[in-house]
Structure 1
């Protein structure tokens, strides 16, 4: 029986621009991003989706709704994703918010879900974020409300050079897709509104 091949795995975190540059120059073999705005030398394949919902402070009038209408949510200040630091999720959330004619009232722009949830808990505004992240901050007084008539999803993409992938990368991509589909099944139950 042949010995199993050893595959070295090294994880790093970087912004989208550096990730794309690293993929094109061979620094990285594969990347995960919430943006498919890849250059011509890369492919972007969706690997998993997470439900997005409204993070609402514990004393918000929006808690009167079990599903918040988007125009109503936009009447209140919002904590939004920073377009430079969080380009992928910013673009996806921005597309949702611009389906309504009124511009959102921006309370703050943030580069992390931890800061978003802290500001929401403190009452600075609401935020549109992955459901699992909102649920994790329930003990701090952040409650989750789905949007009425919408089921927005945050899509995470597997980015890699267009050149044919070796066996290890192909197996990694298949495993990421499998794990993503299992994770989506676990998140479906978390999309129900928190009790007020």
Structure 2
């Protein structure tokens, strides 16, 4: 069995090597979770929730949710794992995770995707860009300039929702660069590589002074965060976790209407 293939530039994984690596990662994660569960039980925890996070989700509501869980159920230990979307779905099917957060609902049979919250899209502009003159920027104006988009390999959910946005105006975007993280995207926009899209939830934790944010004119486009879980029965801690996630969503909506 050959796991590595030698090339003039070094070595690459064969198909067998990639399969072995995926399985090895799952085994290591399972071992780490077993150790964490034992430590949690030894310290007095009465339950554990294994929650997976897709790398492109916003973190503001997640922080509020975790704080609420710690306040109301301190005896339940919540373990977070940040993984690509593919590994998230595989982990749910392999019972490595109890639930996950992702920005996509197009999942395989046996997985339930429940919409939790939606954030309106905004346009990110360099500070001296001509479109800064608009209070609300038409999408047709945005797509006439080069764009910095999320790398679909690293941010699959965000990439799919962006594709739907461009299909709504039947436009093939001019892609200047792909960014594997929100921070890199903001850096590239600030440097003048192109324009981009984000949400208030993502910008709440990181917005440099040399970019300008504008809403999209006449658009109801938004980025939706979903809670993914397998079909079938749920544990009591998971039921309570989902109920709290919905409460955070409703509280946020009530605050927005009040403002």
1:110 maps to 2:190: no
| Higher alpha-carbon deviation: 32-41 or 178-187 | 178-187
Structure 1 residue 47, shift from structure 2 partner:
1.1
Structure having the higher helix fraction is 2
Which of 44, 61, 79 does residue 130 from structure 2 map onto? 61
The answer to whether the 8 A contact 1:53-1:152 is kept is no
Question: Which stretch shows the higher mean deviation, 41-50 or 15-24?
Answer: 41-50
Q: Please provide the CA RMSD for this pair.
A: 2.2
CA pair 22-106 structure 1, distance change in 2 beyond 3 A: same
The change in CA–CA distance for 1:84 and 1:8 in structure 2 (over 3 A counts) is: same
| Matched-pair contact (CA < 8 Å) for 2:45–2:77 | no
Give yes or no for the alignment of 1:52 onto 2:121: yes
Counterpart contact for 1:52–1:128, Cα < 8 Å: yes
Is 1:73 equivalent to 2:142 in the alignment?
yes
**What CA distance in whole angstroms lies between the structure 2 residues aligned with 1:85 and 1:171?**
30
Deviations 1:20-74 (A, max 9, x none): 0000010001100011122111101011111211011101111121111111111
Aligned counterparts of 1:7 and 1:79: Cα–Cα separation in 2: 41
The verdict on how the C-alpha distance between 1:63 and 1:188 changes in structure 2, with shifts beyond 3 A counting, is farther
Query: For structure 1, which segment, 180-189 or 68-77, has the greater mean C-alpha deviation from structure 2 after superposition?
Result: 180-189
C-alpha separation between the residues in 2 aligned to 1:179 and 1:158?
A: 13
Q: Which has the higher contact order (CA 8 A, sep 6+)?
A: 1
Distance 1:139 1:114, change over 3 A: closer
Superimposed CA distance per residue, residues 131-170 of structure 1 (whole angstroms, 9 cap, x where no aligned partner): 2434655443111111111022111100011011111101
Provide the residue aligned with 1:162 in structure 2: 231
Q: Which blocks of at least 5 consecutive residues in structure 1 are unaligned?
A: 191-196
Aligned counterpart in structure 2 of residue 36 of structure 1, from 99, 105, 115: 105
